[in-house]
Amino acid sequence: MERNYEYHLPVLLTEAISYLITDKNGIYVDGTLGGGGHSQKILEALSDDGKLISFDKDIDAINHCSIKLAKYMAPSVHKFVPRNESFSKACSVAEEWGLINGFLLDLGVSSKHFDNESGGFSYRTNSHLDMRFFPEGKTAEELINSATEEELERIFRIYGEEKFSRKIARRIYSVRRGKALQTTYDLRDAVISALPPINPYDTLSRVFQAIRIVINNELSELELAIKKIIPALAIGGRIVIISYHSLEDRIVKNLFKEHSEPKQHINKYRYENYISNSVPSLRILTKNPIIPPRKEQAINSRSRSAKMRIAERSV
């Protein structure tokens, strides 16, 4: 039975689809199905011969969109295929249906996760420290109560870019010696008690973000997905990625750059340098990331940090 959760509004919807669709008869992948906003727009743009395969680790998203987009799954049409898997498996589409004409990732965390009081994603509601998108692996509670002080500091500093990471790690380590941190409020109170008398909400957001990223292995999955999808793209096929924080955007930017420029190496046995990857596989279409227009930002506050980058398979 489908749970009654709201999904976030699709960000940069018109812009993303206009860049993504180059062949209405092609094969497309939406790596982050969510509430189906982008997927629905893609399906509307495709001909009856086109196909969309959409991935999501959240079974609720699959169930929700199987109802919402049911007309595209009818045997007479069969242009929409939902997959209950991580987007890092998207390259498998090429093995089944042929090279991919477009790959879309909207990396925003669904409103459903933040609004679900049992998920542990938000410091605004008191719930069990879980933070998993998929019910497998270590929970946030297990991570917080087992990591060393040094490991906690590194998590907050690297994945949250938090300047008070050392003080927060030290405080959590001290608190848990008396009692394990089990709820979001336990973690929230420990973080606040480590801070000077300032507005704590930005820091809380960064700390919760850092833990969520580690628990779900988000950055490694993103990097893996991009590397694996490039050879699965048809010539002229496009990668469209919408990210929401600097760590994600940096990975996208650097990987696009790595695969769009010849690599120069120093050969210590010869005077001259040599070039590998002399024919880059990508062409970057966005010198600077595209951001939502002010009108969209005013309507959808969660779009304010969004950045979209696009690259095209060149060879």
Helices of type H across the chain: 13-20, 37-45, 59-68, 92-97, 111-115, 140-146, 149-159, 165-176, 184-193, 201-215, 218-229, 246-258, 294-299
Q: Is the pLDDT of residue 124 over 50?
A: yes
Neighbour count for residue 134 (Cβ, 10 Å) = 13
Domains, the chain, in order of start with CATH, read 13-111+218-313 (3.40.50.150), 135-215 (1.10.150.170)
277 in the Ramachandran plot: left (φ > 0), alpha (ψ -120 to 50) or beta? left
How confident is the model at residue 230, as a pLDDT?
96
Identify the CA nearest to 245 among candidates 286, 284, 283, 202: 202
Q: Kindly report whether the global pTM for this prediction surpasses the value 0.95.
A: no
Q: Is the pLDDT of residue 105 over 80?
A: yes
Report the percent of the chain where pLDDT is more than 70.
90
Q: 133 pLDDT band (50/70/90 cuts)? A: confident
Q: 116 pLDDT band (50/70/90 cuts)? A: low
